[in-house]
Structure 1
Amino acid sequence: MNAEPVWITESQVTALLTLAEAIPALESGLRLQAEGKAESMPKTMLQFGRNNLHALGARLGDHVGTKTWAHTEGGTCPLLLLWNADDGQLAAVIEAFALGNLRTGGTTGLATDWLARKDAGVLAMAGTGKQAMSQVAAVLAVRDIREVRVYSPTAARREEFAARIADEFGGRALRARACGSMAAACDGADVVTLATRAREPFLDAGMLRAGSHVNAIGAIAPDREEFHQDVFDRAAVVAVDDLSSARALSREFRTRYGDDWSAVQTLSERILRQERRPADADTTLFKAMGMGISDLALGTEILRRARQQGVGRSMPAPVKSKPRFFAAPPAPRAG
């Protein structure tokens, strides 16, 4: 008999799983996908004004699930729903803002681990928004970074974020400084992470040092773009998390590849083949769009830990009710 469904809150998610623990869980999920033992459904998105409604999902192990959220200028409230794959019954509802940060940051950490040089020591971080700190933490989790250069077009925001990095990771021998241009941030950087809502590209190939790795995770809608097309020209490896989403939603990739996507690999394929960064690579490029496998890899691990530790609020399983087809007729008048 399946356990009662549980509701898992944001604070419980963060207590159950760290970013460093999310990275191997993501790697396991991607390997299962490459082996044909897990699959994602295509990501869907509806734009309304400057806002977006998103939905994605996957099958992984004993569960299937979907995550949905509205990303609006006023905020967002994502939820991940898990069902038992054998009988379709609800297993969990997981508040998924922190989970999304763990997934997005963890995916960058995983890609950096596979594609960046082992001796990478300098990170250029473009963007200071809600995802930025987890992006920094993810690279720190897989490389011995000694310096983070922060770029934002707004001086106050880049200065404030550099100070936050110093506070957040004060126990490390880590320097964080704000840079007045993307070129300055990239000067000598081994890893470059783009996590912005830019509508026009701001990174070009001439800014990148030989041997660098680029994570592009911000432009996940057709109205956004973070890097110029010449970045592709220098990339010895071009990899994505989800090919179908990149084909449908990435303006950078659609402009470059049109109808021939044979030069684009998935990170899961490289993991399955144990292909890390080529020794002679000039640069490598990873594009993350977000995909259901990644959310389920973390969601199922969080649920497993919650069951083990007795965490989560039990919910009554939904009970079917016969629908009413018409309003009840009025009762006849007495007499």
Structure 2
Amino acid sequence: MTLLINTEEARRVLTMDDCLEYLDTAYKDLANKEAVTAPPGGRWDVWVPVGDEKYYVFGTLQGASRRLGVFAMRFKSDIMHYPWEADGQTLDKYCVEPGKYCGLIMLFSIWNGELLAILNDGHIQHMRVGATAGVAANYMARENATSVGMFGSGGMARTYLEAFAKVRKIDYCKVYSPTRANRERYAAEMSDKLDINVIAVDSPDQVTEGTDIVAGCTDSAQPIIHPQYVTAGMHVTPVVPKELPPATVEKFDVVVRHNNGGAEGFFVGEDEEYSGLPAGHFDSSYRGVDRSDSPTLADLVSGKAPGRTSDDQLTCYYNVPGSGLQFAAVALRTYELAKEAGLGRELPTEWFLQDERD
């Protein structure tokens, strides 16, 4: 039987400890050619302008692990646009109507090709990104790091802080996002969830004062972690490259990239049809600053490259979006746990088979 697992069922069973364990193993396997992520740059996006400075975007990525015995494909279908707000342009997206989204993971057995599960990606998406940042922080943040500065107050900001609190003894976090109600809600919820002191601050420059780990988890279309915000001994990680301007990247002593490529876009229409996008959007969102000479996360966790070698170093995990291997690892663990708990809806596997060879 093929198991259909929704977001709430995934939320009930999947833990950050599970994600950290499975992803650390998956990246070691990637370094040793026992796993793969495709495309190598992380993700393929197809863009179609649909009018009113809105764009249909279909994104897909894949990954497989021989040790885990699975292949996964994740895809998402979005209408995207970039409205102007008080602090500049931000990304907004939806499927069908605002507040609704379509992201699915197909999980297959590599041993017989069976479709094991179809999963909504909502909770898994946030957990796999936050956990990967946590894996990197475990190798790169100072051992005595106790504080976090967080830009952003959405789902990614929640899983990033949860992951940091798993790999370091975090005592407090300072959070800033432009909307006061959002940052105050985040502070209250995360204080209660993690039993640490989370403080909502009123300006971006306050976020990094005296903090050991700094993370960007925003929808901003402009850089947010400026050079004056980072100092010796910090560990810094953006959720997307555009959060770090080149001048900030130049300050880092150690940079580890998520991968050595970057997402790749395919475009319908003429250049002028993309005038609604922020200047330099594709370079800053897909690849960021050229640090292709830097080791990857797989190199780091496998011991092929060093991370931090002194407490004074300013380190960065440079997240370039997209890894199908993340979805293979985390979707498998979600599937295992859902089966154990008797969750999900069973669908006949025969529905997805045919007797005509393609």
Structure 2 length normalisation: TM-score? 0.79
* 8 Å CA contact 2:183, 2:200 repeated in 1: yes
TM-fit CA distance, 1:308: 4.5
2:2 matches 1:5: yes
- Provide closer, same or farther for how the CA distance between residues 267 and 246 of structure 1 changes in structure 2, counting only shifts above 3 A: farther
Q: Which amino acid aligns with 2:316?
A: L
- Provide closer, same or farther for how the CA distance between residues 11 and 188 of structure 1 changes in structure 2, counting only shifts above 3 A: same
- Tell me: higher relative CO, structure 1 or 2? Use CA pairs within 8 A at least 6 residues apart: 2
The equivalent residue for 2:62 is: 57
2:316 matches 1:282: no
Q: Which amino acid aligns with 1:11?
A: E
The equivalent residue for 1:45 is: 45
TM-fit CA distance, 1:97: 0.9
Q: Which amino acid aligns with 1:52?
A: V
Choose which of 122, 130, 148 in structure 2 pairs with 1:97: 122
2:14 matches 1:17: yes
The equivalent residue for 2:272 is: none
Q: Which amino acid aligns with 1:277?
A: R
Matches within 5 A, 1:149-188: 149-169=174-194, 172=195, 174-188=196-210
2:90 matches 1:68: no
What RMSD, in angstroms, separates the aligned Cα atoms of the two structures? Answer: 2.4
The equivalent residue for 2:292 is: 261
Matches within 5 A, 1:223-234: 225-234=242-251
Q: Which amino acid aligns with 2:116?
A: A
Q: Which is higher, the Rg of structure 1 or of structure 2?
A: 1
- Provide closer, same or farther for how the CA distance between residues 70 and 280 of structure 1 changes in structure 2, counting only shifts above 3 A: same
> C-alpha distance in 1, partners of 2:309/2:55?
40
TM-fit CA distance, 1:161: 2.1
2:142 matches 1:117: yes
> C-alpha distance in 1, partners of 2:6/2:287?
37
TM-fit CA distance, 1:185: 0.8
> C-alpha distance in 2, partners of 1:98/1:207?
31
Q: Which amino acid aligns with 2:308?
A: R
2:344 matches 1:312: yes
TM-fit CA distance, 1:20: 2.1
* 8 Å CA contact 2:213, 2:234 repeated in 1: yes
> C-alpha distance in 2, partners of 1:84/1:99?
19
> C-alpha distance in 2, partners of 1:29/1:132?
23
- Provide closer, same or farther for how the CA distance between residues 214 and 230 of structure 1 changes in structure 2, counting only shifts above 3 A: same
SS at match of 1:29: helix
> C-alpha distance in 1, partners of 2:55/2:151?
21
SS at match of 1:234: coil
- Provide closer, same or farther for how the CA distance between residues 150 and 107 of structure 1 changes in structure 2, counting only shifts above 3 A: same
* 8 Å CA contact 1:51, 1:70 repeated in 2: yes
Matches within 5 A, 1:186-225: 186-219=208-241, 225=242
TM-fit CA distance, 1:134: 1.4
* 8 Å CA contact 1:26, 1:297 repeated in 2: yes
The equivalent residue for 1:330 is: none
CA deviation map 1:183-221 (0-9, x unaligned):
2110111000101111111211221121001111145xx
Q: Which amino acid aligns with 1:185?
A: V
TM-fit CA distance, 1:280: 5.1
* 8 Å CA contact 2:62, 2:325 repeated in 1: yes
The equivalent residue for 2:324 is: 292
* 8 Å CA contact 1:189, 1:209 repeated in 2: no
The equivalent residue for 1:84 is: 109
TM-fit CA distance, 1:22: 1.0
- Provide closer, same or farther for how the CA distance between residues 144 and 12 of structure 1 changes in structure 2, counting only shifts above 3 A: same
Residues paired across the two proteins, number: 309
> C-alpha distance in 2, partners of 1:280/1:189?
14
> C-alpha distance in 2, partners of 1:50/1:246?
17
**Where does structure 2 lack aligned partners over 5 or more consecutive residues?**
49-53, 79-92, 266-281
